[in-house]
Protein backbone atom coordinates (compact mmCIF):
# COMPACT_ATOMS: atom_id res chain seq x y z
CA UNK A 1 0.00 0.00 0.00
CA UNK A 2 2.82 2.36 0.82
CA UNK A 3 4.49 1.63 -2.50
CA UNK A 4 1.25 2.32 -4.34
CA UNK A 5 0.73 5.55 -2.43
CA UNK A 6 4.28 6.57 -3.21
CA UNK A 7 3.67 5.93 -6.88
CA UNK A 8 0.56 8.07 -6.77
CA UNK A 9 2.42 10.84 -5.01
CA UNK A 10 5.27 10.79 -7.50
CA UNK A 11 2.86 11.01 -10.44
CA UNK A 12 0.89 13.85 -8.83
CA UNK A 13 4.03 15.92 -8.36
CA UNK A 14 4.84 16.47 -12.06
CA UNK A 15 1.18 17.02 -12.85
CA UNK A 16 0.90 19.69 -10.17
CA UNK A 17 4.06 21.35 -11.43
CA UNK A 18 2.75 21.34 -15.01
CA UNK A 19 -0.54 22.89 -13.90
CA UNK A 20 1.34 25.55 -11.93
CA UNK A 21 3.48 26.40 -14.96
CA UNK A 22 0.38 26.66 -17.16
CA UNK A 23 -1.30 29.02 -14.68
CA UNK A 24 1.82 31.19 -14.43
CA UNK A 25 2.17 31.35 -18.20
CA UNK A 26 -1.50 32.27 -18.55
CA UNK A 27 -1.17 35.03 -15.98
CA UNK A 28 1.97 36.32 -17.70
CA UNK A 29 0.28 36.34 -21.11
CA UNK A 30 -2.76 38.16 -19.73
CA UNK A 31 -0.48 40.84 -18.29
CA UNK A 32 1.49 41.15 -21.51
CA UNK A 33 -1.63 41.48 -23.67
CA UNK A 34 -3.47 43.70 -21.16
CA UNK A 35 -6.33 41.20 -21.31
CA UNK A 36 -8.80 41.30 -18.47
CA UNK A 37 -11.00 38.71 -16.83
CA UNK A 38 -14.66 39.59 -16.43
CA UNK A 39 -18.07 38.06 -15.84
CA UNK A 40 -21.27 37.59 -17.83
CA UNK A 41 -24.39 38.68 -15.95
CA UNK A 42 -27.90 38.20 -17.24
CA UNK A 43 -30.99 40.02 -16.05
CA UNK A 44 -31.34 39.09 -12.37
CA UNK A 45 -33.73 36.23 -11.66
CA UNK A 46 -34.32 33.86 -8.76
CA UNK A 47 -30.95 32.14 -9.26
CA UNK A 48 -28.78 35.25 -9.70
CA UNK A 49 -27.45 37.52 -6.98
CA UNK A 50 -28.74 41.12 -7.00
CA UNK A 51 -26.82 43.77 -8.97
CA UNK A 52 -25.35 45.57 -5.96
CA UNK A 53 -23.95 42.30 -4.64
CA UNK A 54 -22.47 41.40 -8.03
CA UNK A 55 -20.77 44.78 -8.37
CA UNK A 56 -19.36 44.47 -4.85
CA UNK A 57 -17.92 41.05 -5.72
CA UNK A 58 -16.33 42.43 -8.88
CA UNK A 59 -14.65 45.19 -6.91
CA UNK A 60 -13.55 42.79 -4.17
CA UNK A 61 -11.82 40.51 -6.66
CA UNK A 62 -10.55 43.38 -8.85
CA UNK A 63 -12.49 42.26 -11.92
CA UNK A 64 -12.72 45.10 -14.40
CA UNK A 65 -15.31 43.93 -16.95
CA UNK A 66 -18.90 42.80 -16.97
CA UNK A 67 -21.07 41.72 -19.87
CA UNK A 68 -24.79 42.48 -19.67
CA UNK A 69 -26.92 40.58 -22.18
CA UNK A 70 -29.49 43.37 -22.13
CA UNK A 71 -29.85 46.76 -20.46
CA UNK A 72 -31.11 46.54 -16.89
CA UNK A 73 -31.65 49.81 -15.04
CA UNK A 74 -30.86 48.49 -11.57
CA UNK A 75 -27.61 46.90 -12.73
CA UNK A 76 -26.49 49.95 -14.70
CA UNK A 77 -27.30 52.15 -11.71
CA UNK A 78 -25.20 49.92 -9.45
CA UNK A 79 -22.28 50.35 -11.87
CA UNK A 80 -22.31 54.14 -11.71
CA UNK A 81 -18.98 55.55 -10.60
CA UNK A 82 -17.30 52.14 -10.64
CA UNK A 83 -14.04 51.36 -12.41
CA UNK A 84 -15.69 48.51 -14.33
CA UNK A 85 -15.98 48.44 -18.11
CA UNK A 86 -19.38 47.35 -19.38
CA UNK A 87 -20.13 45.28 -22.48
CA UNK A 88 -23.78 46.14 -23.04
CA UNK A 89 -25.89 43.74 -25.08
CA UNK A 90 -28.75 44.39 -27.47
CA UNK A 91 -31.21 41.44 -27.32
CA UNK A 92 -31.91 39.46 -30.48
CA UNK A 93 -35.56 40.50 -30.25
CA UNK A 94 -34.51 44.08 -31.05
CA UNK A 95 -32.53 43.28 -34.20
CA UNK A 96 -35.26 43.41 -36.85
CA UNK A 97 -37.13 46.48 -35.49
CA UNK A 98 -33.93 48.51 -35.15
CA UNK A 99 -32.66 47.41 -38.57
CA UNK A 100 -35.94 48.60 -40.06
CA UNK A 101 -36.33 51.86 -38.16
CA UNK A 102 -33.10 53.81 -37.44
CA UNK A 103 -35.01 56.07 -35.04
CA UNK A 104 -35.40 53.08 -32.72
CA UNK A 105 -31.62 52.84 -32.47
CA UNK A 106 -31.46 56.51 -31.51
CA UNK A 107 -34.13 56.04 -28.84
CA UNK A 108 -32.38 52.90 -27.53
CA UNK A 109 -29.05 54.70 -27.23
CA UNK A 110 -30.60 57.68 -25.48
CA UNK A 111 -32.42 55.48 -22.95
CA UNK A 112 -29.81 52.81 -22.28
CA UNK A 113 -26.47 54.42 -23.05
CA UNK A 114 -26.50 58.20 -22.90
CA UNK A 115 -28.62 58.21 -19.74
CA UNK A 116 -25.84 56.34 -17.90
CA UNK A 117 -22.69 57.60 -19.65
CA UNK A 118 -20.09 58.65 -18.59
CA UNK A 119 -20.93 57.60 -15.00
CA UNK A 120 -21.10 54.01 -16.26
CA UNK A 121 -18.07 52.99 -18.33
CA UNK A 122 -19.83 51.45 -21.31
CA UNK A 123 -17.06 50.15 -23.58
CA UNK A 124 -18.84 48.04 -26.18
CA UNK A 125 -22.33 47.66 -27.57
CA UNK A 126 -22.81 43.98 -28.43
CA UNK A 127 -25.58 43.87 -31.01
CA UNK A 128 -27.27 40.47 -30.90
CA UNK A 129 -25.95 37.21 -29.54
CA UNK A 130 -24.89 34.13 -31.51
CA UNK A 131 -26.47 35.18 -34.80
CA UNK A 132 -25.41 32.91 -37.64
CA UNK A 133 -26.64 31.37 -40.85
CA UNK A 134 -25.99 27.96 -39.29
CA UNK A 135 -28.20 28.08 -36.19
CA UNK A 136 -31.72 28.95 -35.08
CA UNK A 137 -30.97 32.67 -35.46
CA UNK A 138 -30.34 32.46 -39.20
CA UNK A 139 -33.15 34.89 -40.11
CA UNK A 140 -31.54 37.60 -38.01
CA UNK A 141 -28.33 37.31 -40.03
CA UNK A 142 -30.13 39.20 -42.82
CA UNK A 143 -30.66 42.20 -40.54
CA UNK A 144 -27.61 42.21 -38.28
CA UNK A 145 -25.33 44.52 -40.25
CA UNK A 146 -28.03 47.15 -40.78
CA UNK A 147 -28.75 47.11 -37.04
CA UNK A 148 -25.07 47.57 -36.24
CA UNK A 149 -24.83 50.48 -38.68
CA UNK A 150 -27.91 52.14 -37.18
CA UNK A 151 -26.40 51.88 -33.72
CA UNK A 152 -23.10 53.26 -34.98
CA UNK A 153 -24.91 56.28 -36.41
CA UNK A 154 -26.96 56.72 -33.24
CA UNK A 155 -23.84 56.71 -31.06
CA UNK A 156 -22.16 59.22 -33.39
CA UNK A 157 -25.19 61.50 -33.16
CA UNK A 158 -24.88 61.52 -29.36
CA UNK A 159 -21.11 62.06 -29.39
CA UNK A 160 -20.43 58.56 -28.04
CA UNK A 161 -18.06 57.28 -30.73
CA UNK A 162 -15.69 55.92 -28.07
CA UNK A 163 -18.22 53.13 -27.58
CA UNK A 164 -17.54 50.44 -30.17
CA UNK A 165 -20.30 48.47 -31.89
CA UNK A 166 -19.77 44.75 -32.35
CA UNK A 167 -21.61 41.43 -32.08
CA UNK A 168 -20.92 38.06 -30.45
CA UNK A 169 -20.75 34.95 -32.64
CA UNK A 170 -20.92 31.33 -31.59
CA UNK A 171 -18.99 28.33 -32.88
CA UNK A 172 -21.59 27.59 -35.57
CA UNK A 173 -19.64 30.02 -37.78
CA UNK A 174 -16.74 27.55 -37.75
CA UNK A 175 -16.21 24.29 -39.58
CA UNK A 176 -15.85 21.28 -37.24
CA UNK A 177 -15.15 23.39 -34.14
CA UNK A 178 -15.28 20.46 -31.71
CA UNK A 179 -13.86 17.62 -33.77
CA UNK A 180 -10.88 19.20 -35.52
CA UNK A 181 -7.64 20.53 -34.10
CA UNK A 182 -7.57 24.31 -33.52
CA UNK A 183 -4.94 24.85 -36.21
CA UNK A 184 -7.20 23.24 -38.82
CA UNK A 185 -10.42 25.05 -37.96
CA UNK A 186 -11.67 27.56 -40.52
CA UNK A 187 -14.82 29.60 -41.04
CA UNK A 188 -17.74 27.69 -42.51
CA UNK A 189 -18.41 28.74 -46.10
CA UNK A 190 -22.03 29.59 -45.30
CA UNK A 191 -20.91 31.93 -42.54
CA UNK A 192 -18.53 33.88 -44.73
CA UNK A 193 -21.39 34.82 -47.04
CA UNK A 194 -22.86 37.10 -44.38
CA UNK A 195 -19.79 37.75 -42.24
CA UNK A 196 -17.64 39.43 -44.87
CA UNK A 197 -19.32 42.83 -44.62
CA UNK A 198 -19.57 42.55 -40.83
CA UNK A 199 -15.84 41.88 -40.52
CA UNK A 200 -15.20 44.89 -42.77
CA UNK A 201 -17.45 47.01 -40.54
CA UNK A 202 -15.55 45.92 -37.42
CA UNK A 203 -12.21 46.64 -39.03
CA UNK A 204 -13.21 50.07 -40.31
CA UNK A 205 -14.50 51.12 -36.90
CA UNK A 206 -11.76 49.61 -34.74
CA UNK A 207 -14.20 47.24 -33.04
CA UNK A 208 -13.23 43.77 -31.79
CA UNK A 209 -14.36 40.41 -33.13
CA UNK A 210 -16.18 38.61 -30.33
CA UNK A 211 -17.11 34.95 -29.95
CA UNK A 212 -18.73 32.81 -27.28
CA UNK A 213 -16.54 29.75 -26.80
CA UNK A 214 -17.57 26.60 -24.94
CA UNK A 215 -14.50 24.36 -24.61
CA UNK A 216 -16.38 21.90 -22.39
CA UNK A 217 -18.66 20.97 -25.29
CA UNK A 218 -15.68 19.41 -27.01
CA UNK A 219 -15.72 16.69 -24.35
CA UNK A 220 -19.31 15.80 -25.16
CA UNK A 221 -18.94 15.09 -28.87
164-169 β-sheet, strand order: 38-41, 65-68, 85-90, 121-129, 164-169, 210-211
In the prediction, which pLDDT does 180 show? Answer: 73
Give me the pLDDT at residue 176, please. 77
Which pLDDT score is estimated for 218? 56
Pairing mode, strands 38-41 and 65-68: parallel
Crossing angle for the helix pair 144-157 and 189-204, to the nearest 10 degrees? 10
Quote the crossing angle between the two packed helices 144-157 and 102-109, to the nearest 10°.
50
Instruction: State the pLDDT at residue 1.
Output: 38
pLDDT of residue 178: 72
101: left (phi over 0), alpha (psi -120 to 50) or beta: beta
| Averaged pLDDT in 10-residue chunks for the chain of 221 residues | 39 48 48 67 79 92 93 95 96 97 97 96 96 87 96 97 94 78 79 87 93 69 54
HEC states along the chain?
CHHHHHHHHHHHHHHHHHHHHHHHHHHHHHHHHCCCCEEEECCCCCCCCCHHHHHHHHHHCCCCEEEECCCCHHHHHHCCCCCCEEEEEECHHHHHHHHHCHHHHHHHHHHHHHCCCCCCEEEEEEEEECCCCCCCCHHHHHCHHHHHHHHHHHHHHCCCCCCEEEEEECHHHECCCCCCCHHHCCECHHHHHHHHHHHHHHHHCCCCCEECCCHHHHHCC
Which pLDDT value is given to residue 173? 85
pTM equals 0.79
Query: For residue 217, what pLDDT is reported?
Result: 61
Amino acid sequence: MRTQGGAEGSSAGPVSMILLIIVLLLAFNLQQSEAEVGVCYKTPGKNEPPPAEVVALLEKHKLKRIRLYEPHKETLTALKGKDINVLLGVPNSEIIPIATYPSKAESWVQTNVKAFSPDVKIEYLIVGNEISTNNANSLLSLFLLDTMRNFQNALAKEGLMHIKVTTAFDTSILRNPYTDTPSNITFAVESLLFMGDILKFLSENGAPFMANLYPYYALLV
